[in-house]
Amino acid sequence: MKHFTQFENKSLADRLIEKALAYKNNPRIDISKGLGKRVGCIFLNPSLRTRASTQIAAMNLGMEAIVMNMDKEGWALEMKEGAIMNKGTVEHIKDAAAVLGTYFDVLAVRAFPSLVDKKEDTEDYIFNQFIKYSGIPVVSLESAIRHPLQSLADMVTIQEHMLSGVKPKVVLTWAPHIKAIPHAVANSFAEWAVGCDYDLTITHPEGYELDEKFTKGATIEYDQNKALVGADFVYVKNWSAFNDYGKIHTTDPDWMLRESHFKNASGAKVMHCLPVRRNVELSDEVLDGQRSLVQKQAENRIYAAQAVLSMIIE
Ligand code: CP
């Protein structure tokens, strides 16, 4: 595996899940594997879980992790090819990424979308500039269109809680939010859930259709109550409109899951990548109740990152 940016195939996903579960069982079993190696964690946007879990994962492998919060501490980066840099940007991405490529063995990058320039976002332009100019393996810490480390942790969490030998019904449901939110978590979750051969239903209000590239193989159901019938896992996430790019069409509070939504899915477990806006996206009673897996997902971020780093440095 050269880079880790997306779901590749089920065989690789299965190996990563197995490796993550092995590390969870014995986190420091490979403590010498990464000795002398460095990962540079470049954040162009805020983070709690991704930042801490990737650092811990690197430490568990004996690697050194250096975190740069470029949005706050670095030079303002210019992304446009051929730009005349006579305004606010100080350093071009092609110079910065090339330098970082000489400092590290692995680069890990978070680069959110603008939600304004659809073409640039859907091409994952900024994230791909780091791949193009660093010349070293790059791990996605969430790009404009995907969040594969989150999805790997989500698959590990489902694997831990599903009945062996039974294909689970997994529902990805849109939830209300007050801000325009990227599509990366929802895209990636759909890509990985279908790729891992789960029975995936996606439910959202009309107008919130995701990019079909990520939802192929899933059932789309606009009635949330119908979608939830018989669900084993319900993944809750907001995203802004994709077709009417980056827009908020509704904040209908009926889409926020409460216990009363689970009449026809009594055993369903509830997932969310966090951070979550309590009592906007998800009710306190669900988040703090028995069906919530959100803390387990967050914990599994460590072992997902550890499995990925371990395979990349192999
Ligand atoms: N789920 C997730 O990526 O959390 P952070 O944004 O805090 O890293």
Predicted confidence band at 289 (pLDDT cuts at 50, 70, 90)? Answer: very high
Residue 3 lies in a domain: no
Asked if residue 150 belongs to a known ligand binding site, the reply is yes
Q: Which two tokens stand for residue 144?
A: 């404009």
Is the pLDDT assigned to residue 286 strictly greater than 90? Answer: yes
- The answer to whether position 70 is within a domain reads yes
Ligand 1 contact via 153 beta carbon (within 6 Å): no
pLDDT at 73: 86
The number of distinct structural domains making up the chain is: 2
Q: Are both 290 and 191 inside the same structural domain?
A: yes
Specify whether 54 is located in the same domain as 93. Answer: yes
Q: Which residue has a Cα nearest atom 3 of ligand 1? A: 50
pTM score: 0.97
Verify that 37 and 157 share a domain, yes or no: no
- Side-chain-side CA neighbours of residue 18 (13 Å): 7
Same domain, 36 and 142: yes
Residue 110 lies inside a defined structural domain of this protein: yes
Query: Where in the sequence is the domain holding 244, given as residue range(s)?
Result: 150-298
Q: Mean of the per-residue pLDDT values for the chain?
A: 97
**Together in a domain, 131 and 164:** no
Determine the average pLDDT of the residues in 263-280. 98
Segment 160-187 mean pLDDT:
96
> Torsions phi, psi of 251, nearest 5?
-130, 30
Same-domain status, 60 and 110? yes
Domain membership of residue 1 (yes or no) is: no
The dihedrals phi and psi of 39, each to the nearest 5 degrees, come to -115, 130
Q: What is the pLDDT of residues 77-101, one digit of tens each?
A: 999 999 999 999 999 999 999 999 9
Atom of ligand 1 nearest to the CA of 50: 8
Confidence of residue 123 (pLDDT cuts 50, 70, 90): very high
Q: What is the CATH number of the domain that holds 185?
A: 3.40.50.1370
**pLDDT value at residue 285:** 98
What is the spatial order of strands in the sheet that 233-237 belongs to?
219-220, 199-203, 169-174, 233-237, 269-271
pLDDT at 164: 84
Assess whether the C-beta atom of 45 lies below 6 angstroms from ligand 1. no
> Can you say how many angstroms the Cα of residue 139 is from the centroid of all Cα atoms in its chain?
12
Average pLDDT over residues 138-164: 97
The answer to whether residue 86 is domain-embedded is yes
> 264 in a domain, yes or no?
yes
Query: Which of 43, 49, 149 is the pocket-test mutation for ligand 1 (most atoms within 8 Å of CB)?
Result: 49
Give the pLDDT band of residue 165 (cuts 50, 70, 90). Answer: confident
pLDDT tens digits, 29-64? 999 999 999 999 999 999 999 999 999 999 999 999
- Looking at the fold, whether 124 and 214 belong to one and the same domain comes out as no
Distance between Cα 45 and ligand 1 center (Å):
10
- What percent of the chain clears pLDDT 70, i.e. is strictly above it? 100
CA of 272 to the centre of ligand 1 (A): 11
**What is the C-alpha separation between 300 and 287, in angstroms, rounded?**
17
Q: For residue 72, is pLDDT > 90? A: no
Q: Is residue 177 marked as binding?
A: yes
Any atom of ligand 1 within 6 Å of the Cβ of 47: yes
- Asked if the model's pLDDT at residue 119 lies above 90, the reply is yes
Q: Do 141 and 157 fall into the same domain?
A: no
Rounded distance between C-alpha atoms, residue 177 and residue 278, angstroms: 10
